[in-house]
Structure 1
Amino acid sequence: MAAEEVNKSPPLPSYPQLIINAIEALNDKNGSNKTSISKYIESKHGDLPAGHSTLLSHHLNKMKETGELVFWKNNYMKADPNAPPRRGRGRPPKPKVPLPPGMVLSSGRPRGRPPKDPNAPPRSPKPKLPSGSGKPRGRPRKMARPEGGIGGSSTSVTSASVRPRGRPPKVKASALTQPEAINERTA
């Protein structure tokens, strides 16, 4: 039993405490880098966990974010208690003026266009107001062509003779290579 008690080492303090102790013991005015902190902890506490470097990095970053440590020129040092708190990125928020007691803030209108009322009666179209010149505004509507063509004849033209809109389709090469098509072209 006595041999078991001798082999047991005192429990390892928490990593933040180990880091603070290492920085205080190294006592460098420019702070201590990660390697020197790690070597100091290894020299004082021989039985460290397998992921010591990962744990050390994690706790150093965590302590840096919370403001316990200051990271400057690749060195960590204890934060000065008299120093002003560090600001985040971006513009600081405007100070809020406190409301007098008894005054309640009204909830403002929500953003965006309000939804249409499904129970509202349908609206009639707006009446057209006459413009100063008597003509309607904008481009005039395209007039329908008479079916007889330019001459104005009343006979209806078959839809095959009326050209469709757009570019005509390409002529297929296979139709031109047939002997009948070649004879027609030469004649």
Structure 2
Amino acid sequence: MADDGKPALPPYPEMIFTAIDTLNDKNGSSKAKISKFIESKHGDLPTGHSMLLSHHLNKMKDAGELVFSKNNYMRPDPNSPPKRGRGRPPKPKEPLPAGYVPPPPRPRGRPPKPKDPLAVAAAKAAEGLPKRRGRPPKKAARAAAPPPAGAKRGRGRPPKVKPAVAAVGA
């Protein structure tokens, strides 16, 4: 920025503190009062002055530099305890002994299943062979069961078996 002969604006937090201290209201100063004071003291304000003022007031309020009560901003009482955040406070951490190296963190996710040593050996043995064409053969456990000894099964759903009707009255 080039110096045009105008005095540079001080930072917003500094202007806000000056306004609150000069207005010296026991209940604090509203955003409108702070804004009017800054406008009267510094005529050449940026176009987004109200948004900048709101941003800095909120930022200072969250940091604990200002106290917000009944739509008024004021400096915090030096004798008051610091404001505590929401939720349960964290437990105090015990210091680690000197020379202690924590173990590496566990990997994320479910641990892998233990591998069958026979399957691993078979996979390593077949690794060098080229893959066979076509559909792989069925597993040995299913092929070992022999088909029923009766008639050969046909295609489709089998017909419903009707119970034999006994002769009535003899």
Q: Shared topology, TM-score over 0.5?
A: yes
Residue 97 of structure 1 deviates from its aligned partner by: 1.3
Paired residue type of 2:43:
G
Q: 1:95 aligns with which of 66, 82, 92?
A: 92
Alignment of 1:49-68 (within 5 A): 49-68=46-65
Letter in 1 for 2:44: D
Equivalent residues in 2 for 1:105-116 (5 A)? Answer: 105-107=102-104, 109-110=106-107, 113-116=110-113
- Give the CA deviation at 1:49: 1.5
SS in structure 2 at match of 1:71? strand
Could you tell me which residue of structure 1 aligns to residue 27 of structure 2? Answer: 30
The 3-state SS of whatever aligns with 1:43 is: helix
Alpha-carbon distance change, 119 to 76 in structure 1, aligned in 2, over 3 angstroms: farther
Identify unmatched segments of 5+ residues in structure 1: 1-6, 123-144, 153-187
Residues 86 and 121 of structure 1: is their aligned pair in 2 closer, same or farther, counting only changes over 3 Å? Answer: farther
Structure 2 residue 161 is matched with structure 1 residue 148: yes
**Shift in Å, 1:13:** 0.9
| 2:32 equivalent to 1:18 | no
- Give aligned pairs, total: 125
Structure (1 or 2) with the larger CA radius of gyration: 1
Q: Which runs of 5+ in 2 are unaligned?
A: 120-157, 166-170
Q: CA deviation at 1:10?
A: 2.0
What are the residue-to-residue correspondences of 1:103-182 with 2, within 5 Å? Answer: 103-107=100-104, 109-110=106-107, 113-118=110-115, 120-121=117-118, 147-151=160-164
Equivalent residue, structure 1, for 2:80: 83
The higher relative CO (CA closer than 8 Å, separation ≥ 6) is in 2
- Residue identity over aligned pairs, in percent, reads 65
1:45 aligns with 2:42: yes
Change (3 A) 1:9 1:109: closer
CA RMSD in angstroms, aligned pairs only: 2.9
Post-superposition CA distance 1:101-156 (Å, at most 9, x none): 2333334645653122456546xxxxxxxxxxxxxxxxxxxxxx99432229xxxx
The SS at the match of 1:101 is coil
Normalised by the length of structure 1, the TM-score is 0.56
Q: What do the CA deviations read for 1:43-91 (whole angstroms, capped 9, x no partner)?
A: 1112212111111111111111222111122111123344333222111
* Structure 1 residues 114 and 29, CA gap change in structure 2 (3 angstroms): same
